[in-house]
Structure 1
């Protein structure tokens, strides 16, 4: 069966092997049709927490301690669209693979860099994990129950939402900018300068510039004096590539824009765990049922609250009135009654009452339940995060191609799925599928253009080699 091409078909991505955010960014691009080639170290042993974010990727091992291994990566970068750098600042520069070098070889390259802390901050040289990035971003201070210490969530906000997803956001913006540059003719009015002294403007061919975390596209150097310069540098240099920098501190902080704003409003001005949306409000919380499971309640609006009260059979209380419920003096009693009431029925019984209503009351499902439901044909299948009707993303699980709609339903993705069905990822062995990718990308054959040295690929040196 012929499938329409996913949106990133033809985009070539080099992903240096890393942890969490880098692989997640690569997987998001691969799910959208990009060809992602992971670069592993020759000595890579499968760690206990192996990278499972490998859908639709291939791998090569490269000996970066060998100059011919570095040369191989440089040659790959000549035809790549995106490079994902997951290392601490300066690591790839020491290997001769920094943006100065690679963006000069390929001015169209999107050089995407992912760090935990800001590259220019006091923590830039320190190691860290999701909890640390949330801590210094201010986000962790808002998470937790009343009277308890800040509670770190599972590593979603920093590593993935504030890290990998934000990096993909930057990559896609850079690809759009590159595409626009290719369509924009060079005109005198694209370069506007008002100057009172000499200014030199240099294209970003490998210059690691950052203003707010992203490449500026130009270096402005001048003698002191008032200067206003607006430059469309892409229209001048004909490249369109740039350096994209993301970090998990700024990413998590950006995600928390609304909660941060509400700290100075009645919605969030009380201490942690005492506000409308942080479990302080009794009609925005979870409640245990008779069988030890949970229901989630989010009946904020008056019409939804009325539906909830009706379903719970609590209309005889004074705070059943939609106005009275906003009195914080009522909240302890509302919570106590809700807790008692939800424990009178099983979760399934409450589902029977609230399913199909606007009470904003739903079961708290575990992934084991969802997977079991998928296996029984009751839903629970994992799907691409977004649906593009004309250019759907790739299928997540192999079962999507079983004739039950995987090929025809854009919401389920398209094309060959992968083993793991969305609930269990699979490891990508170092070197797996890499030779086929090199053949497809560059027409390279093992023993002709590349060979193996100490377990890693290196470029075969030839007399007429460009390197």
Structure 2
């Protein structure tokens, strides 16, 4: 059973690699018809660079081969736009205008079109034409400076927060808002999302610290990044780690009672030197048991202590299994849509081969076999 929530919404996806395809993947999993437009020669770069990643973020879509450097292909795109609700692109600003299919041109064809441009730095500003990747956006947004241990160097995460949270999910939210607006008013809009913008906006705690102190704290020393002994990471007897997030006093008191150490509750819960005694005591305590032993002891004690799992271990977590977050495809894990709707399952669907749906989509536009053959001869499809 397909997810019906976005049924009837047609999305043209011109994006590549990770942020844009992840954005349209969520729309596809919620029932939208997503038509992925790819260059006939090779398609999305991720097909070759990271085929398993490509498979994960392009399930449930259709693939149409279309070379927008050809005038004939641009004409086909415009026919598709007339029947579409959304177009997503991730070219640098101005590229679509040069191809003859920028927002101002396309909205004349379809005034209800929602045109989403997902770029590194947005459509305006001195950085708008710069190249970039997730690390660059995190660096400029101040996120990378805050990632890592106190007195250590900035640390890279294997979660692409700018690409996925600042970019893809922010863009999906903007698209859905614009689609609702278009349905109400009959007028679409351009959704301009810069991944730097989205990443900066997500840094609520850092911004709150600046509002409070007039400046940011050093890496590893803000309230939720290492300043507090009761909100920190500790090594266990087996060399694995636990995450202690007993932020509220009631949770920390539950922990102290569970481990038979009421004396810990009397130590200052404070950042800096005042909390050093508690941090040292907790460090010694956690080294007396293995990670799994701590989990077994504290699982039902309501104290916000959890084992730190590897990504592979996370797949076998009983909570993950109970929620049906991962399912297997040819023996390989696939992440299901993480949003649960009543009576609306995830759409699923296979990852399309390059150009697999070209003929059927063009037929829906009214192009006969002779017209399709002519386009193929020119290299437009």
After TM superposition, the score normalised by the length of structure 2 is 0.87
- Superposed, which structure 2 residues align to 1:33-432 within 5 Å? 33-44=31-42, 46-50=47-51, 51-52=54-55, 53-181=57-185, 239-265=186-212, 270-317=217-264, 320-321=265-266, 324-326=268-270, 328-372=272-316, 381-382=325-326, 383-390=336-343, 392-395=344-347, 417-418=348-349, 428-432=352-356
Distance in 1, Cα, partners of 2:321 & 2:86: 39
CA contact (8 A) 2:240 2:308 kept: yes
Change (3 A) 1:41 1:282: same
Contact 2:229 2:269 in 1 (8 A): no
Query: How much is the aligned-residue C-alpha RMSD, in angstroms?
Result: 2.6
Structure 1, residues 424-465: CA drift from partner, whole Å, max 9, x if none?
xxx6431123434444x546554455655268555xxxxxxx
Per-residue CA distance 1:83-105 (angstroms, 9 max, x = gap): 00111011111111111211111
Give CA-to-partner distance per residue, 1:321-374, whole Å, 9 cap, x none: 27x223643422222222222121122211111112210111222221233457
Paired residue secondary structure (1:84): strand
Distance change (3 Å), C-alpha of 1:379 and 1:170: closer
Gaps of 5+ in 2: 327-335
Is 1:435–2:359 an aligned residue pair?
yes
SS in 1 for 2:177: helix
Give the paired residue count.
365
- Structure 2 CA distance, aligned partners of 1:99 and 1:446? 30
- The structure-2 alpha-carbon separation of the partners of 1:99 and 1:67, relative to structure 1 and needing over 3 Å to count, comes to same
1:60–1:457: 8 Å Cα contact kept in structure 2? no
Q: In 2 relative to 1, CA 321–145 (structure 1 residues): closer, same or farther, beyond 3 Å?
A: same
Q: 1-side partners of 2:246 and 2:93: how far apart?
A: 46
- Distance (Å, rounded) in 1 between the aligned partners of 2:79 and 2:116: 18
The TM-score normalised by the length of structure 1 is 0.72
User: Would the aligned equivalents of 2:325 and 2:338 in 1 still touch at CA under 8 Å?
Assistant: no
| 1:294 shift after superposition | 1.7
Deviation of 1:174 (Å): 0.5
In structure 2, C-alpha distance between the alignment counterparts of 1:153 and 1:267, rounded to whole Å: 27
Q: Distance in 1 between matches of 2:119 and 2:60?
A: 24
Whether the 8 Å contact between 1:16 and 1:40 is mirrored in structure 2 is: yes
CA pair 126-327 structure 1, distance change in 2 beyond 3 A: closer
Give 5+ residue unaligned stretches, structure 1.
182-238, 396-416, 420-426, 459-467
Q: Which segment drifts farther, 125-134 or 7-16? A: 125-134
2: CA distance, partners of 1:455 / 1:297? 62
On the 8 A contact 1:370/1:381 being kept in 2, the answer is no
Distance 2:282 2:305 in 1: 12
Conserved? CA contact 1:6–1:394, under 8 Å: no
SS at match of 1:278: helix
Q: 1:256 to 1:108 in 2, by over 3 A?
A: same
Q: 1:70 to 1:272 in 2, by over 3 A?
A: same
SS of the equivalent of 2:77 reads helix
Tell me what 2:331 maps to: none
- State the SS of the aligned residue for 2:238: coil
Q: 1:438 to 1:356 in 2, by over 3 A?
A: farther
Q: Distance in 1 between matches of 2:62 and 2:188?
A: 24
Cα deviation, 1:121-172, whole Å, max 9, x if unaligned, reads 2211111111111222233232222112332333422101000111111111
Is the radius of gyration larger for structure 1 or structure 2? 1
**Native 8 Å contact 2:16 2:90 kept in 1:** yes
Query: For residues 349 and 5 of structure 1, what CA distance do their matches in structure 2 show?
Result: 41
8 A contact 1:268–1:275 mirrored in 2: no
